A and B are shown apart, each in its own frame.
Chain A
Amino acid sequence: MSEQTESTTPSSLSAVAAARADKKVAGTSPLGTGLEARGVHAWFSKHHALADVSLDFSAGTVTALIGPSGCGKSTFIRTLNRMHEFIPDTSMAGQVLLDGKDVYEPGIDVTKIRLQIGMVFQKPNPFPSMTIGENVLSGLKLAQIKTANPDELMEECLTRAGLWAEVKDRLGAHAGGLSGGQQQRLCIARALAVKPKVLLMDEPCSALDPGSTLRIEETISELSKSMTVVIVTHNMQQAARVSDYTAFFLSDGGPGQMIEVGPTNEIFSRPRDKRTENYVTGRFG
């Protein structure tokens, strides 16, 4: 078996990433100071799932988290918007700073944190009891926010999620009738409606066909002009196409760790760590 010829070579991935880096003008948007994780650990009861991850997500960047299954990527992003604590008997350590303020500070209003750090899940999960339009605006109802012009907001969010043209004539239809890719874009539109500063995406394209994936990647590029995006992905081409920075996670049987982080084209062209190189060249994982 010649794995080398089968797998994507690092040079082609880094070329994609470099082309992307050229297009992007760095530091154009003042969006706060972004999100920063400092020494984050996570446990599921006694099981130490994630150890000592420190990562800085600058405002207006897209960061991809890559690594094999079970390395703690999803656990990590769930600590960022405090969703980790919903699983019974979990614990964590470390700090997560949003614009310099720890989201785990005692007495902080958790719902406000989640309002600022939105999330898109692996499986599209539109609310089945609501119409397409109601789904988009559901965040306002759920978080009890008033808006002056809901119709305008609905159109804006659906447009940004790349779905407006497809659904504008059937906003009153139930969301269950949409295709998987459309449902996922609806979930993105829903997450945008509450105007988060950060959007976490947990393998948002893993259940979708290539066409829908492409639409969502375009959406991500569009979103990064106005917010910070963190995306977990198993698809390295996707990481190369959409992200400015890439972090590689790995578990060697113990807790998951972050092995290396850097500008995406560097991770794919000249990774510093041998394990990262093995992963991005397809030698394992």
Chain B
Amino acid sequence: MSTSTVKPTKPWAATPRDRAMMATSVGLAALSTFLIVAGTPLKGKLAYFFVFFIAWLAIDSFFVFSKAGIKGVRNGLAEKLTFLGALIVMMAVASILWSVISRGMAGLNFAYFTETMRNASIFDPIGMGGIAHAIVGTLLLIAISIIISVPMGILTALYLTEIKGKASKFIEFLIQAMAGVPSVVAGLFIYAAIILNTPLRPSAFLGGLALTILMVPTVTRTAQEVLNLVPQDLREAGLAMGATQWKTVALVVVPAARSGLITAVILGVARIAGETAPLLFTVGTFDAFNFNPFVGQNSALPVIVWGGLNGGAAESIQRAWSAILVLLIVVLIIFTAARIFSKRAMKK
């Protein structure tokens, strides 16, 4: 046996010349950026960023033209603009995260997670009281919304994709219309329909109902999309073996779409987790723990944020920022748990 003397190479990788060109264009772009910003009224970080990007686009296009002609320039421009788009979105998300984390951290302490505002006011110094009651309230609201809207949404999606009944068109239209309902209207609806007309008073349950109105369209439409992606072949394979449609859907279609259906639930939770307006008249506010979703007003993290910012004092605003951070953490934990759960289910 002769040992192989061929070394693996990457002939498509950037050559030293390519790298030199890249460095030159970045250098020239940086230089011209400084000159332009210094010589014109443009000021600030954003100005540097955009001037640099445009200068780099132009200079690099020139190099690309010398190597690959006008087609290469077009291809390169499309690639760079796509990159710019992604970069702007990333910057927006990163700056939101950064401001929430940097401003929220200051208000976090152990008590913030374990205590309620029962014996404290939002104007008290940071360290007194906490928002454990609002974490409980938000978890209750999310749980109630999931319990009601996930079965509703997935069953509706199954009706639209599997049964394709006569009412499909009309239901699709309704779902689309529902997706456009402003969240405050969902809250007003529950208020007008239930709170004004029945002895039921604001509670986590009624808030959950309002959030359900917002969550159902998201869950339904996402579930519909993923169920439509299940190949028709699989349904036919099930039916061709003498299964009823119910058995085919339960044992073949839904398992095949499982991870997509989990995504539908996650998107649904994402839709409602930060909602404030519909909770104002359906949940009310409460400063202590209320573990009973059906009786008594409750609290929710977005409502705490709203109240804190409205308070106007330094302490209350600090509490609001910290509550936003806690909300982000809670949502992140829910999403991660859902993903781990779906992976486990896949492996089994």
Binding site for B on A (CB under 8 A): 81, 83, 86, 88, 111-115, 118-119, 121, 123, 125, 127-130, 138-139, 141-144, 187, 190-191, 194
Contacts and interface: CB of A to CB of B under 8 A. Distances in A.
A143 B237 contact: no
A111 B252 contact: no
Nearest to A123: B233
Given A129-B255, A129-B256, A115 B242 contact: yes
29 contacts: A83-B239, A83-B240, A86-B236, A88-B164, A111-B243, A112-B242, A114-B240, A115-B241, A115-B242, A121-B240, A125-B236, A127-B238, A128-B234, A128-B256, A129-B255, A129-B256, A129-B258, A129-B346, A138-B241, A141-B251, A142-B242, A142-B243, A142-B251, A143-B243, A144-B247, A190-B237, A190-B241, A194-B241, A194-B242
A121 B233 contact: yes
Interface centre among A88, A111, A129 (most CB of B within 10 A): A129
A118 B251 contact: no
A83 B247 contact: no
A138 B243 CA distance: 10
B233 A114 contact: no
A86 B239 contact: yes
B241 A191 contact: yes
Interface size class of B (residues with CB under 8 A): 20 to 34
Interface centre among B233, B236, B240 (most CB of A within 10 A): B240
Interface string B253-279: 001101000000000000000000000
Nearest to B240: A119
Nearest to B235: A86
Contacts of A142: 238, 241-243, 247-248, 251-252
A246 B244 CA distance: 33
Interface string B278-309: 00000000000000000000000000000000
B249 to A, nearest CB: 11
B231 interface: yes
A156 B198 CA distance: 65
A88 B162 CA distance: 12
Nearest to B233: A125
A194 B239 CA distance: 13
Closest 4 CB pairs of A and B: A115-B242, A142-B243, A129-B255, A143-B242
Contacts of B240: 81, 83, 114, 118-119, 121, 191
Interface in B220-242: 231, 233-242
Given A81-B240, A128-B234, 8 more contacts: A83-B236, A86-B236, A111-B242, A112-B242, A129-B252, A129-B256, A142-B243, A190-B237
Contacts of A144: 247
Contacts of A141: 247, 251
A181 B155 CA distance: 36
Interface centre among B231, B234, B239 (most CB of A within 10 A): B239
A53 B234 CA distance: 28
Contact of B251 (A112, A128, A138, A187): A138
Nearest to A88: B164
Contacts of B236: 83, 86, 119, 121, 125
Contacts of A187: 237
